């Protein structure tokens, strides 16, 4: 049995799209029958993070991890899978010890932090740009293989670092099982849904929706997720309802008329767009929300909006089934676990030749 080391963030620390993809990547490796060991990079303290940035270390590097790293460098792994480009200095060390390495890019992180700084204007985000560029450069220069979530990130890697991806592996989920039981939730007969965590691109999207879209639509918006924390002091809107965290997202998706995704910034591929398709939802979103998702090839699965008027017109004229066959077909053919696991298996086999 081949042995693999999986290096990643603590994917149980946050319930976000990146963590879902990390769990998926780990599950895929195990599904191939590989013996997988893990090196988990916990959320670093502010002091550790500052040290990492100033000394150009791997993200989260500290003495306790160094001890674990030394142990893993002594093991006969067939390859090391880095789930993220934050750990480039570690990847370089494994490569210099002769290990085959694979780096999975959740985003082109330099682009991500540049966009984040433009939105937040926080000095720590600006500091991250140079730091992450150093780690990404280490990944580009030393990884045996590179994987991105979509074609755009592949192009951006090529443009920025002059090396593209060897494989593109989008977000994927298990198909929704209609036989699953869910506790009933009292919700409006008709509403549009936004699901998101509290990070800059989601806050930017909700600021835009509340200011420019909500005043002109008659269908209420239900917002689920801890993005609500960013709007605790916001002026209340009669047709925007922040519910915060919930134990089970399924009832909110299943009862929604449609899902909205007015995302203006970001990198990578939007897991929440794929998740909405998984539940058979019609998606109204931006070009960013559909990046890497061939929405135009599946008429009726959703619509890309180019301006505020598009959102207002589409939401006010919604006449779609709550279970949308075009959305389910798009999900099944492009983003289901079965489809992507087969592709991933073929890629891993190709690296052994």
What confidence tens digit (pLDDT) does each residue in 12-28 have?
988 788 899 999 999 99
Return the H-helix or E-strand segment holding 41. Answer: strand 35-41
166 and 221 assigned to the same domain: no
Q: Are 282 and 327 in contact (CB under 8 A)?
A: yes
* CATH number, position 61: 3.40.50.2000
Q: Is residue 187 part of a domain?
A: no
Check residue 106 and report its DSSP letter: S
Q: Is residue 178 part of a domain?
A: no
What would you report as the CA-atom Rg of the chain, rounded to the nearest whole angstrom? 21
The band of 180, judged by pLDDT with boundaries at 50, 70 and 90, is confident
Contacts of 346 (CB under 8 A, 6+ apart): none
Q: Is residue 200 part of a domain?
A: yes
330 and 342 assigned to the same domain: no
97 and 49 assigned to the same domain: yes
67 and 159 assigned to the same domain: yes
Q: Is residue 301 part of a domain?
A: yes
Q: What pLDDT, in 10s, does the model give residues 206-263?
A: 999 999 999 999 999 999 999 999 888 777 788 999 999 999 999 999 999 999 999 9
Structural domain boundaries enclosing 296? 192-334
158 and 257 assigned to the same domain: no
110 and 40 assigned to the same domain: yes
The band of 32, judged by pLDDT with boundaries at 50, 70 and 90, is very high
Token code pair at residue 186: 């009292």
When pLDDT is averaged across residues 309-314 and rounded to a whole number, the result is 97
Q: Are 105 and 150 in contact (CB under 8 A)?
A: no
When pLDDT is averaged across residues 314-337 and rounded to a whole number, the result is 94
Which residue has tokens 């073929």? 346
- Judge whether residue 175 has pLDDT over 90: yes
Q: Is residue 322 part of a domain?
A: yes
Q: Is residue 179 part of a domain?
A: no
287 and 314 assigned to the same domain: yes
Q: Is residue 186 part of a domain?
A: no
Q: What pLDDT, in 10s, does the model give residues 50-106?
A: 999 999 999 999 999 999 999 999 999 999 999 999 999 999 999 999 999 999 999
Q: How many domains does the chain have?
A: 2
Residue 116, Ramachandran bin (φ over 0: left; ψ between -120 and 50: alpha; else beta): alpha
157 and 250 assigned to the same domain: no
10 and 153 assigned to the same domain: yes
96 and 241 assigned to the same domain: no
- The share of the chain scoring above pLDDT 90, in percent, equals 81
CA-based nearest residue to 283, from 274, 292, 291: 274
Q: Is residue 201 part of a domain?
A: yes
Please provide the size of the chain in residues.
353
Q: Distance between CA 121 and CA 143 in Å, rounded?
A: 32
Q: Are 340 and 172 in contact (CB under 8 A)?
A: yes
- Judge whether residue 267 has pLDDT over 80: no
15 and 164 assigned to the same domain: yes
15 and 162 assigned to the same domain: yes
Q: Distance between CA 262 and CA 289 in Å, rounded?
A: 7
- Judge whether residue 5 has pLDDT over 90: yes
Estimate the share of the chain in helix, then strand, then coil, as percent rounded to the nearest 5.
45, 15, 40
């Amino acid at each position: 049995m081949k042995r693999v080391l999986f290096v990643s963030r603590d994917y149980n620390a946050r319930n976000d799209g990146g963590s879902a993809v990390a769990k998926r990547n780990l599950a895929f490796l195990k599904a191939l029958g590989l013996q997988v060991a893990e090196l988990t990079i916990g959320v670093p303290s502010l002091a550790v993070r500052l040290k990492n940035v100033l000394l150009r270390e791997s993200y989260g590097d500290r003495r306790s991890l160094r001890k674990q790293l030394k142990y893993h460098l002594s093991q006969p792994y067939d390859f090391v899978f880095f789930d993220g480009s934050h750990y480039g200095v570690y990847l370089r060390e494994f490569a210099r010890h002769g290990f085959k390495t694979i780096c999975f890019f959740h985003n082109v992180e330099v682009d991500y932090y540049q966009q984040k700084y433009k939105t937040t204007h926080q000095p720590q985000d600006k500091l991250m740009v140079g730091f992450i560029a150093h780690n990404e450069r280490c990944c580009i220069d030393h990884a045996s293989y590179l994987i991105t979530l979509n074609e755009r990130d592949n192009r951006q890697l090529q443009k920025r670092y002059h090396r593209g991806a060897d494989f593109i592996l989008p977000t994927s989920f298990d198909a929704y099982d209609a036989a699953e039981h869910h506790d009933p939730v009292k919700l409006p007969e008709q509403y549009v849904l936004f699901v998101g965590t509290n990070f800059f691109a989601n806050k930017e999207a909700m600021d835009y929706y509340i200011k420019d879209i909500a005043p002109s639509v008659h269908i209420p918006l239900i917002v689920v997720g801890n993005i609500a924390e960013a709007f605790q002091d916001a002026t209340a809107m009669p047709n925007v309802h922040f519910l915060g965290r919930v134990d089970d997202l399924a009832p909110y998706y299943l009862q929604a008329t449609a899902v909205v995704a007015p995302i203006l910034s970001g990198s990578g591929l939007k897991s929440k767009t794929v998740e909405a398709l998984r539940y058979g939802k019609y998606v109204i979103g931006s070009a960013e929300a559909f990046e890497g998702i061939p929405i135009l090839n599946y008429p009726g699965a959703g619509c890309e909006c180019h301006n505020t008027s598009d959102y207002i017109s589409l939401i006010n004229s919604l006449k779609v089934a709550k279970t949308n066959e075009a959305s389910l077909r798009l999900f099944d053919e492009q983003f289901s676990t079965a489809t992507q696991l087969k592709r991933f298996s073929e890629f891993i086999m190709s690296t052994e030749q």
